[in-house]
Every structure is written in structure tokens, then in C-alpha cells.
Amino acid sequence: MLKIGEHIFQSRLMLGTGKYPSFASQKEAVNISGTEVLTFAVRRMDIFDSNEPNLLEELDLQKYSLLPNTAGAKTAEEAVRIARLAKASELCDMIKVEVIGCDKTLLPDPFETMKASVQLLEEGFTVLTYTSDDVVLARRLEEEGVHAIMPGASPIGSGQGIVNPLNLQFIIEQSNIPVIVDAGIGSPSDASYAMELGADGILLNTAVSGAEDPVKMAEAMKLAIESGRLGYEAGRIPRKTYASKSSPESGVIG
Ligand SMILES: CC(=O)[C@@H](O)[C@H](O)COP(=O)(O)O
């Protein structure tokens, strides 16, 4: 079970809705992934105009919690404006704060991200903040009261997987709020690894929408996240430098 603010989810996978080859594959991938949370860029949709193209039009939105995100914002002010727009449409009280500080890497601007998160908390949003894997920033965001931290595994859309597992581990260890690894996941093993490290969930988009078979990949991600979580809960064996025999040397019959 994953609890973010007042929201409770059984699935630990959050899925992006953009860049699918077709509405049909988007619908099927979303369905088979078992996700309960769909994120979308408010700026890419005219949520008030039913005549405009709607990325979510093929989905049964009653079945999902919507997580609007502030993608496209480069300042706190822009992010806050986008979030208010999402709230006015009464889609959900959750907001993924995403304030990009660099066009080439799409890495978040830590100062503007913090500013936007604080403002939106004051306005009563359930705030999930996309951040870099900076350990101190993650702690400061938690201290401010955000409801979940979303550290990137690697740059958005890069599919590079977890480039700094140690930072991720530090963030997970110190956090008392959910840690959702967001961005850069390329394969099921990346997702599983993040979950084995103790992440509470994964948000991903490109790895599924850009796969040769998005539907198969969505299912693979679902299974990988479940498997990684189980492995984490089971507790892995410690790493040793040298070998130790697998068979017991005493108390053996025969
Ligand atoms: C959809 C969304 O919110 C993305 O900005 C998110 O960060 C996912 O990144 P990937 O496409 O790398 O999975």
C-alpha cells in the first residue's frame, strides 16, 4: 500500500500519458500496468475546452487518480500558475511540481522547485516534488512538508536508469515520506533495482510509451516493481568479499 497525503494506492507504479504511438496502445498499456495514478502535463492540454485534443480522451478517468504536472514551467511563478489551473478544473488536489532549470538536461531548478513547492503547500495542494537526487534538497523539501519526493534516476526520457544508486539510497534512508523514483527509468530491471533499494514507487513514461511493444513493457514494469518491492521486503543477503559455501558443513544427513 502506498499512501501519499490522504491518497491510498495499491499499485506502486505511476504512469505518464504522453508520446504513445496511438490512443489504443496508450489505453491498453495503462490498463495492463495496473497503475492507479496517471500524470499529464497541464500545459499540453486545454483542460477547459472540450473541442481541443485531449491526451486522456480514450481513458476511463473514473478508474484513476490524476496527477497533473507542471512540466514546461521554468520558474516557480509559472509552476504555481499551472497548478492553480489544474486545481480549478477540479481534476485532483495532487500536483507534481516540475520546474526545469536546464533545457539540455531537463534537470530541475532546485531554488524554483523549492519556492513553488512551499507556495503550493500553503495553498492546500498535495505536493509531489520532482527533484534531482540531491540528498540535502530532498531533506529540506520534506522539512517544508511536501507529501512525496520524486528524485530522478537520470535525465527525463534518457532511459539511462539509476546513475547514482548511492544518493538514491541516502534519500530513501532519511525520508519519512514516500520516495517515488521519477524519470530516466529505461528497463524493468531499472525499476526493480529502485524498488529493491527501498523506493516506495516509480513514475515512468518513456520506457513504456517508447518501447517497441508498449503494452508488453507496461506489464513488464508492473511485474518488475512488484518483484523489486517483494525483494526489498524480504531483505537481501549482505554482500561479502569472499565466497562462503552454500551447503551446511554440520548437521548434514548422510
Ligand atoms: C511524464 C512525466 O512526468 C515525465 O516528465 C517523467 O519525469 C517521466 O520521465 P521518463 O519519461 O524518463 O520516464
Q: CB–CB of 73/99 below 8 Å?
A: yes
The pLDDT value given to residue 252: 64
The mean per-residue pLDDT over the stretch 48-56 comes to: 58
The mean per-residue pLDDT over the stretch 162-186 comes to: 97
Query: In the structure, what pLDDT confidence band is assigned to residue 249 with cuts at 50, 70 and 90?
Result: confident
pLDDT of residue 47 exceeding 70, the answer is: no
pLDDT of residue 32 exceeding 90, the answer is: yes
Q: Residue 14 is inside which H or E element, if any?
A: strand 13-16
The mean per-residue pLDDT over the stretch 200-223 comes to: 98
Percent of the chain residues topping a pLDDT of 90:
83
Query: In the structure, what pLDDT confidence band is assigned to residue 52 with cuts at 50, 70 and 90?
Result: low
The mean per-residue pLDDT over the stretch 164-178 comes to: 97
User: What is d(CA 80, CA 118) in angstroms, rounded to the nearest whole number?
Assistant: 10
- Within 6 A (CB) of ligand 1 lie 16, 18, 39, 69, 71, 156-157, 182-185, 203-207
Spacing, Cα 230 to ligand 1 middle (Å):
24
The pLDDT value given to residue 71: 94
The residues, ordered by sequence, that sit 6+ positions from 11 with a Cβ below 8 Å of its Cβ are 2, 33, 34, 35, 36, 37, 222
In tens, the pLDDT along 120-147 reads 999 999 999 999 999 999 999 999 999 9
Using alpha carbons, list the distances in angstroms from residue 127 to 75, 93, 164, 240, 244.
16, 9, 24, 40, 47
Query: In the structure, what pLDDT confidence band is assigned to residue 75 with cuts at 50, 70 and 90?
Result: very high
pLDDT of residue 253 exceeding 90, the answer is: no
pLDDT of residue 190 exceeding 70, the answer is: yes
C-alpha 158: how far from chain center: 15
Spacing, Cα 234 to ligand 1 middle (Å):
29
The mean per-residue pLDDT over the stretch 236-254 comes to: 84
Spacing, Cα 130 to ligand 1 middle (Å):
10
Give ipTM to 2 decimals: 0.96
The pLDDT value given to residue 104: 94
Query: In the structure, what pLDDT confidence band is assigned to residue 46 with cuts at 50, 70 and 90?
Result: low
Which of 97, 99, 204 for mutating ligand 1's site (highest number of atoms within 8 Å of CB)?
A: 204
What burial class does residue 130 get, using C-beta atoms within 10 Å of its C-beta: 0-12 exposed, 13-18 middle, 19+ buried?
Answer: buried
**Known active-site residue 96:** yes
The residues, ordered by sequence, that sit 6+ positions from 87 with a Cβ below 8 Å of its Cβ are 93, 95, 123, 125
The mean per-residue pLDDT over the stretch 55-68 comes to: 82
User: What is d(CA 88, CA 144) in angstroms, rounded to the nearest whole number?
Assistant: 24
Which of 203, 208, 217, 225 for mutating ligand 1's site (highest number of atoms within 8 Å of CB)?
A: 203
